[in-house]
Amino acid sequence: MTDVFGAEFLDRLHSVGAVKNPASFEALRTQGFPNRRVEAWRYTDLAGQLAQTLTPSGLRINQEQSGLFGPNPAVQTVEGDALSLMNAAVGGEGFLFEVPEGARLKPVFARFGPMAANALVNATNRITIGAGAQAVLVERWGQTDESWMNSDTTIDVAEGGHLRRIILVEDGGAGTQTHRTFTTLGENARYDALVVTLGGGLHRIEQHADLTKPGCHAGLSAIVLKRGEEHSDFVTNVRHLAEDTTSDQQVRTVVDDRATAIFQGGIKVAQDSQRIEGDQLSRALMLSDRAQAFTKPELEIFADDVKCSHGATVGDLDQEALFYMRARGVEEAAARALLVLAFAREPFEALDLPEAIETMLDGKVQEWLGVAGRFEEMDL
Amino acid sequence: MLEIKGLHAGLEDGTEILKGINLSIGAGEVHAIMGPNGSGKSTTANILSGKPGYDVRSGSATLEGADLFEMEPEERAHAGLFQAFQYPVEIPGVQSSTFLQTAVNAKRKVKGLAELDALAFVRELRAQAKKLGIGNDMLKRAVNVGFSGGEKKRFETLQMALLEPKLAVLDETDSGLDVDALRVVADGVNALRAPDRSFLVITHYQRLLDYIVPDYVHILSDGKIVKSGDKSLALAVEKTGYAEFEAA
């Protein structure tokens, strides 16, 4: 039984005693990892990751606010995605973040990693937002080299709750980050997620959201900045399972050099889910002829009273705007940076983020552009 | 200040638009170029500022002796050229004040001056903006986004005031302005008139020249200056139209 994709990788895991849940492992060993013939993985090849010899390692949480994160056990499952099965098989413990009913938290910052080179970290996380509670959670994943972080996060937002979640995925080296989130939203609940992915070897971030009760909303957005040989695959899957639900997906991608960025954006509207609004807009900026950007909208609509929109553009910087700024004496590099910065921060709008977080994210983008601290919004 | 000699130029696709322009503008002078649509007025402005898409075939243009055609657009700006655009571009997401500070500091850096920090810049910005009736709300918005026609032209004038050019080229600054807005912009321009600053005012209509009074008027027709004179020439054009000045 060596024919499945990644079999040798799994055998190595087994031989170092990493398997904690044999049933999950057997299920994974039988199904193997998804290869590029699997539609959802046609743009992303895990062969390089599976050729590595990695050392299983626990999740390290560096949190600024102590006491907010508890441990969360791995699940025992024999079903689902191969990467979730891997997480289950090695018993990847993660974090538990619970916000009690009615609570309003100040923004919470947590950092996962850094860790040793050649580490394989699996984490099973759980976030619960009580009824009417509000929270802003900023998670920073990565800053690792030649390692692989793989996580599953389950989120429940109860009636009237609101979670704004920033997932900053960054790597100093050629790390691999595969993270999946499964969110369930109650009546009038909101989940606004913004994934910011920069650096790294291969990033695949999945956001699944089930809108199960009327009045709830999911915003699943991303800012993807890639250069060199970096690879990003951002996947969304919004399921409108109740009437009067809304969703919004704003994806802004900037690719330079030979980088590749993929957006697979799913909106599904179940039969009988009426009065649905689902918006999706993907815009990609190509800074090099050899960079690649793919957008694959997947809309499945089985109800009648539905307003769904999707749009995708791929282009270069606005040459007219570039000239306008240069004609005012702004050097070309600075003009380009200003335009990329403006483009990248478009998804900020919908989130209405606390200023400190916007400034932090702005700083990350400016750092990526090599113009750190150069431009700041002015207090007038 | 500006010397244009034997300028033949056109679009990159080969279309010839300017067919031998000669123009000399002295320090402190205000020159107007008038002409019918398609005569090459905007092309003249765009070629001077280095807008992509145009091609210089022959001839020269120098600003205080420096060859403009050898410079990148930003270098022309640093050398003292300023084009007030007919259609200022909207730049979503770039805050007007940030853009202005970046432009002002880029020029200061080239001139060997210390860059202005946000505090010092805001003070200067507020003072200049106030004169043009530009409020903080406009400066907080993205460059030209959501600006009315009049606001865009006032914003162009504000940029001119901050960048202190040696030669300002005003391309159809009157287009899209009502009389009140025109007066505000013209007052702003007139306040910037100085012995060491020259203006090239490009317009289709004489009306603008009632407000920004030129020392010299040139009629451009089919890519050539066919007649030059003083401000009375503009009035003559207003009466008779451009037909009698058409190039043979």
The verdict on a CB contact (< 8 Å) between A375 and B98 is yes
Q: Is B94 on the interface with A (CB under 8 A)?
A: yes
Q: What pLDDT, in 10s, does the model give residues B105-144? A: 999 999 999 999 988 999 999 999 998 889 999 999 999 9
The verdict on a CB contact (< 8 Å) between B102 and A375 is yes
Q: Is B74 on the interface with A (CB under 8 A)?
A: yes
Question: How far is Cα A208 from Cα A117, in angstroms, rounded to an integer?
Answer: 30
Task: Look at residue B136 and tell me if it is in a domain.
Answer: no
Average pLDDT over residues B159-177: 93
Task: Look at residue B67 and tell me if it is in a domain.
Answer: yes
The pLDDT value given to residue A305: 92
CA distance B143 to chain A (A): 10
Please give the tally of structural domains in chain A.
Answer: 2
How far lies A355's CA from each of A202, A248, A359, B141, in Å? 30, 22, 6, 17
Considering the domain architecture, whether residues A204 and A251 belong to the same structural domain is answered as: yes
Task: Look at residue A192 and tell me if it is in a domain.
Answer: yes
Task: Look at residue B188 and tell me if it is in a domain.
Answer: yes
The pLDDT value given to residue A107: 93
Domain C-terminal end among A270, A290, A316: A316
Q: What pLDDT, in 10s, does the model give residues B73-99? A: 999 999 999 999 999 999 999 999 999
This prediction's pTM: 0.90
Residue of A130 and B178 predicted with greater confidence: A130
Question: How far is Cα A336 from Cα B72, in angstroms, rounded to an integer?
Answer: 15
Task: Look at residue B122 and tell me if it is in a domain.
Answer: no
Tokens matching residue A167: 């997932």
Q: Which residues of chain A have pLDDT under 50?
A: none
Average pLDDT over residues B156-181: 92
The verdict on a CB contact (< 8 Å) between B99 and A338 is yes
Task: Look at residue A44 and tell me if it is in a domain.
Answer: no
The pLDDT value given to residue A66: 61
The pLDDT value given to residue B248: 46
The verdict on a CB contact (< 8 Å) between A329 and B78 is yes
The verdict on a CB contact (< 8 Å) between A327 and B106 is no
Considering the domain architecture, whether residues A286 and A156 belong to the same structural domain is answered as: yes
* ipTM for this prediction: 0.96
Task: Look at residue A145 and tell me if it is in a domain.
Answer: yes
Q: Looking at the DSSP assignment, which residues form a beta bridge with residue A280? A: A249, A310
How far lies B175's CA from each of B44, B129, B206, in Å? 17, 22, 12
With beta carbons under 8 A apart, name residues in chain A contacting B143.
324
How far lies B97's CA from each of A25, B83, B104, B139, in Å? 58, 19, 10, 5
| Tokens 């940030």 found at | B98
Please give the tally of structural domains in chain B.
Answer: 1
The pLDDT value given to residue A143: 67
CA distance A254 to chain B (A): 16
Closest CA to B36 of B174, B229, B237: B237
Task: Look at residue B225 and tell me if it is in a domain.
Answer: yes
DSSP letters, B86-129, are SSPPPEEEEEHHHHHHHHHHHHHHHTTPPPPPHHHHHHHHHHHH
- Candidate from B51, B142, B143 with C-beta closest to A323: B51
The verdict on a CB contact (< 8 Å) between B49 and A327 is yes
- Candidate from A324, A325, A376 with C-beta closest to B118: A376
Domain interval for residue A113: 56-316
Considering the domain architecture, whether residues A264 and A281 belong to the same structural domain is answered as: yes
Tokens matching residue A236: 């969304």
Question: How far is Cα A281 from Cα A148, in angstroms, rounded to an integer?
Answer: 30
Domain interval for residue B81: 2-91+165-245
The pLDDT value given to residue B228: 94
